[in-house]
Amino acid sequence: MRKPFMAANWKMNKTSRETEEFINTFIPLVRDISDVDILIAPTFISLETASRLLKSSNVLLGAQNVYHEESGAYTGEISPDMLIAAGCSHVIIGHSERREYFSETDEVVNRKIKLARSKGLEVILCIGESLEERESNRTFDVLSGQLSGSLADLSLDGITIAYEPIWAIGTGKTATDEQANETHAFIREWLGKHRENADRVRIQYGGSVKPENIEGLMSQPEIDGALVGGASLKPDSFAKIAAGASGK
């Protein structure tokens, strides 16, 4: 049975001080949750603060992005070794906002995953379709292309898939439980056809996840967790989401 995995993507929110305040409130709220993996991905400048506070807790630390080179003249970028030194065990790669605002292609995503995995970082790979693509019945074609390009020459070891329909991110819209499960089932079927051990891969849902809808989403057999944005910025809200996955 796949262990549920709940991850908080804080995006460009929270200073180091705000991160400290969040974690000090959050840890006691989730201390007794042992059957769910919980992860927080703060901004780069808050990673070391978060790492210090999360030690000896049941909460993992991740980064929101990484570069595909080990070092060099790449102003403003962060390498896998830097993330590991800061205490990260995971990194989010290929988020739709990175693809849209920073023109990251599947090839770039693939290079990032390869380097991150070679260094021992576990990866949350984000994929998802736009509203236009969904309405034109291209969802599965888009996801197939993203999976094929992003996972080229890679095994599934150490990789979690996060399905994030772009039309549901930060919009308040959420795929129905059944819609989400259908798409997750397609992703797992694709993985099964092209890679080994697809049944072990955790597939998260992302897109306006909140305490009110998490139990319905987690009741679906192919949904193994969530990648949470806005609702993860408040300790009580994200704690309720984590608790909603407990006992699946």
Q: Which residues are catalytic?
A: 95, 164
- Calpha distance 3→234 (Å, rounded): 24
Half-sphere exposure of 89 (CA within 13 A, CB side): 15
Residue with tokens 């080229």: 152
H or E element in which residue 160 lies? strand 159-163
- Calpha distance 34→107 (Å, rounded): 37
Contacts of 101 (CB under 8 A, 6+ apart): none
